Structure 1
Amino acid sequence: MSFQRQIVHIDLDSFFVSVERKFDPSLIGKAVIIGGSADRGVVASCSYEARAFGVHSAMPTRQALQLCPHAILIRGSHGRYGEASREVTEIIHNAVPLYQKTSVDEFYIDYTGMDRFHNAYQHASELRQKIMRDTGLPISFGMASGKTVAKMATNEAKPNGQLLIPHGKEKEFLAPLNINKIPGLGESTSQKLYQYGIEKIGDLQKADIRFLEAILGKAGKFIWERANGIDHSEIIPYSDRKSISTEHTFHTNIADKNAIETILVSMTEELAYKLRKENKVASCLAIKVRYANFETHTQQEKISLTAAEHILIPGVKNLLKKAWNQYRPIRLIGVRLSDLCSGSYQINLFDDNEERIKLYKAMDKINFKFGEKTVCRAAGMEIGTRNFNPFMRG
């Protein structure tokens, strides 16, 4: 028996701001910006009151404060956001059989087939009410036949609302929306389509696929399908992996601290890149040292939620300093990042400046395209070609 797909997309509205307002209700109704310093920092999140002035995430904080001078700037509390995300995840985990967590504040739920037992939309509505009641956080959701339309329905339902797009009504819902509302449709692609008079999704629906492929390449068919509400992508079950680690065994025991530190830097870079690729951040850092006599020691420390080398590498060096014993040769070293949480690199914007964010994005883009370690820090270059066989732990 085949069932009509029932996909729900859930999004916690202005998540970081909402969490801060929970702890400080005086922020409710005010323009709030969460992010780095006013000097060289970047906006991580902002309230709808600030958005009304043109403020948006990843914008330089300096520019945001020029647009909205009366905004309240908050540094942000990593621990609070991770804890709030875990709270919401647990409620969803206990309520539905199949869900996907795509970021610290965003989820997809697959209700397909549940209509035999429940009214899926009613169940989703009750789940939304429970999350708001138990966590005190505002939340929006969209329900449709696929992930893309469900996400777009959520965006139309915000702030703090819900919207059902019935089967067969996808094209009707999408048609009047601007093409830039399609998730993943970048600014350059939008501009290219605008040149041909394609501004609304309804215009895209009427366009010939061959024409779209001629101007957009392979993406043409993909965009046409999304414009017509066609999206068969599956819900990937959420797996709460706790750690990611890598080890390196030396052919001969080694007592050169600089050489060991260089290898640890390279290993840390690789793990940080894998975290960013998997849209995860870590809040615990550890190193493992096995001496020549096979005696093994670990050193670890709690850190702010991050996937950034400039935070992780000094931590690793510090742990090596604590573990170092110049009279004991080392046989094996390892690095482990644990207490993982789904969340994009955005969560690190509190600690970063514009230049650093651009650097990470550029490095990841090149490494993703041409292979890991194509670009890395100088300290890791001499061992960049070695294979450390990183492995994941669930």
Structure 2
Amino acid sequence: MIIHLDLDCFFASCERVHNSSLNGKCVAVGGRGDPFIFDKNPSRNKKLMTLNTGAFVPSLFHAEHDSRHYFKDGDKMRGIITTASYEARAYGIKTAMSVHEALRLCPHLILLPPNHLLYHTMSHELMEYLSTAVPVMEQYSIDEMFGDLRGWIDEADTYEFVRHLQNQISIEFKLPVSIGASRSKWIAKLATSSAKPYGVRVIHNHEIESFVKDIPIGEFPGVGKAFSLKMERYGIKSIGDAWRSETLIQSWGTQSRELYGRFRGEDNESVQPSRSRKGIGISRSMDHPVHDRDELFRRIHILVRHWSHTIMKLGVNPTTYSFSLGYENWGNSKKQYTLYRLFNETFLQSFTLEKFRELDIYPHSGIRYIAMSATKFIHHDPKSFNLLEIQNDTKMRSLTEALTTMRDKYGMDIVRGGGEF
């Protein structure tokens, strides 16, 4: 069988491991769009990690926050809730809710700034432990993992095994976890959801149909909003409805056929010990719109430095770059480019600044959002790159490697570009 582990209220649970006085209390971890990254003064506490990704899990963060001021912006409270304990959820507090609304619902809420270094570290240590207990493990996100028990544990012994595993995680790490198991990764993930909080549920083959039949189609992993609406137009509102609509769903193409197999638990998707990274991006939303273009491009310089460092750390060479600006009143401006250059920070800085200047089609409007991403990675094969630029790019690549080493050792802000001041 395949098992799925979901660490309950993970960020809040990590904080409780770190501070046991938080146990049993209304606790929430909140986040902001990193109000510190654009500071003109260098920081020694800035860290960059590439162990985990996902919603509310930045690769760049500060090691320490002053909780008294983190959420304050003048007289206003900024930020959103990323994790809330079950005690806090009883007051209606939910993920992605504004900090202001959460405090209105629960005035005695203990609101904590994020400690991402702690969360990354605990997730990594848990994954290391699980790899000694289960032959094949997949890190799905910072707080979710899959494991493959096939050929290791008899199906009849699955419940006892995962219950023991749950207890061991509680003893070794003091972290609450829910675990689901089934023949399919995605049915196992649904089983975990039904077991929360702190539960275990095993769905055997003959139980799959009765288990999934009343689950809303939009709650199935991988069913996006658009596809869910499409299915609802055909009267398919539950997974049970989907089971009875095989011919229709399979007529919609390859992806729909694959999804139908998932609905039935017949997808045969394997647990992957490592998952390839599809893209690397960085973005920031501003609390206050930026009107000064010199300040805008100073911030772009800073974002590119961190973006470049992440790309170098992961050892990939992108060929497709996407850029986006979000305006205060005029919507978005975005564009994508493909080019074959040996990756280096010097090239990325000049190319990105040039493209953002072209992208800024409303120069008198304030900017609320900056985003950039890189995709479609290739190997470092000189025959693949622009021959007119390869000699200079090779030199700049060596410089970028040296900068990456220095920033790893002394911090992200040890070397900054002139455009950042």
**Shorter-normalised TM range:** 0.5 to 0.7
Which of 220, 225, 228 pairs up with 1:182?
220
8 Å CA contact 1:33–1:50 kept in 2: the answer is yes
- Aligned residue in 2 for 1:73: 111
* Deviation of the 1:236 alpha carbon: 1.2
Compared CA separation, residues 138 and 155, structure 1 to 2 (3 A): same
Kindly provide the amino acid, as one letter, of the partner of residue 160 in structure 1.
Y
- Aligned residue in 1 for 2:266: 230
8 Å CA contact 2:308–2:345 kept in 1: the answer is no
1:82 corresponds to 2:120: yes
Compared CA separation, residues 228 and 275, structure 1 to 2 (3 A): farther
Which of 4, 15, 18 pairs up with 1:9?
4
Distance 1:220 1:149 in 2: 17
Compared CA separation, residues 124 and 277, structure 1 to 2 (3 A): farther
Distance 1:238 1:168 in 2: 31
1:169 corresponds to 2:203: no
* Deviation of the 1:43 alpha carbon: 2.1
- Describe how 1:306-345 pairs up with structure 2 within 5 A: none
- Aligned residue in 2 for 1:20: 15
Distance 2:214 2:174 in 1: 34
Q: TM-score with structure 1 length normalisation?
A: 0.59
- Aligned residue in 2 for 1:202: 240
8 Å CA contact 1:209–1:220 kept in 2: the answer is no
Compared CA separation, residues 45 and 116, structure 1 to 2 (3 A): closer
For residues 15-65 of structure 1, the C-alpha deviation after alignment (integer angstroms, 9 at most, x for no partner) is 111111223334333332201326332222112233344433334323433
8 Å CA contact 2:162–2:200 kept in 1: the answer is no
Q: Which moved more, 1:196-205 or 1:106-115?
A: 196-205
1:60 corresponds to 2:98: yes
Distance 1:72 1:205 in 2: 45
- Aligned residue in 2 for 1:33: 28
- Aligned residue in 2 for 1:159: 197
Distance 2:194 2:82 in 1: 22
Kindly provide the amino acid, as one letter, of the partner of residue 233 in structure 1.
E
8 Å CA contact 1:144–1:165 kept in 2: the answer is yes
Sequence identity, in percent? 32
Distance 1:263 1:62 in 2: 32
Unaligned runs of 5+ in 2: 32-70, 281-299, 317-343, 347-366, 379-388, 405-421
- Aligned residue in 2 for 1:143: 181
Superposed CA RMSD: 4.1
8 Å CA contact 2:5–2:145 kept in 1: the answer is yes
- Aligned residue in 2 for 1:252: none
Distance 1:273 1:56 in 2: 33
Compared CA separation, residues 185 and 59, structure 1 to 2 (3 A): farther
* Deviation of the 1:85 alpha carbon: 1.7
Kindly provide the amino acid, as one letter, of the partner of residue 79 in structure 1.
L
- Aligned residue in 2 for 1:122: 160
Kindly provide the amino acid, as one letter, of the partner of residue 27 in structure 1.
L
Kindly provide the amino acid, as one letter, of the partner of residue 257 in structure 2.
K
Count of residues in Structure 1 that have an aligned counterpart in Structure 2: 276
Distance 2:3 2:233 in 1: 34
Q: TM-score with structure 2 length normalisation?
A: 0.55
Compared CA separation, residues 118 and 150, structure 1 to 2 (3 A): closer
Kindly provide the amino acid, as one letter, of the partner of residue 85 in structure 2.
S
- Aligned residue in 1 for 2:81: 43
Kindly provide the amino acid, as one letter, of the partner of residue 212 in structure 2.
L
Compared CA separation, residues 187 and 69, structure 1 to 2 (3 A): farther
For residues 75-96 of structure 1, the C-alpha deviation after alignment (integer angstroms, 9 at most, x for no partner) is 1222322332233123212212
8 Å CA contact 1:171–1:227 kept in 2: the answer is no
Distance 1:212 1:43 in 2: 39
- Aligned residue in 1 for 2:412: none
Unaligned runs of 5+ in 1: 1-5, 245-261, 279-332, 336-354, 373-382
Compared CA separation, residues 118 and 90, structure 1 to 2 (3 A): farther
For residues 163-191 of structure 1, the C-alpha deviation after alignment (integer angstroms, 9 at most, x for no partner) is 00012322221112121221122233333
8 Å CA contact 2:214–2:240 kept in 1: the answer is yes
8 Å CA contact 2:180–2:202 kept in 1: the answer is yes
1:95 corresponds to 2:90: no
8 Å CA contact 1:14–1:46 kept in 2: the answer is yes
Kindly provide the amino acid, as one letter, of the partner of residue 267 in structure 2.
D
* Deviation of the 1:111 alpha carbon: 0.7
* Deviation of the 1:133 alpha carbon: 0.9
Compared CA separation, residues 263 and 13, structure 1 to 2 (3 A): closer
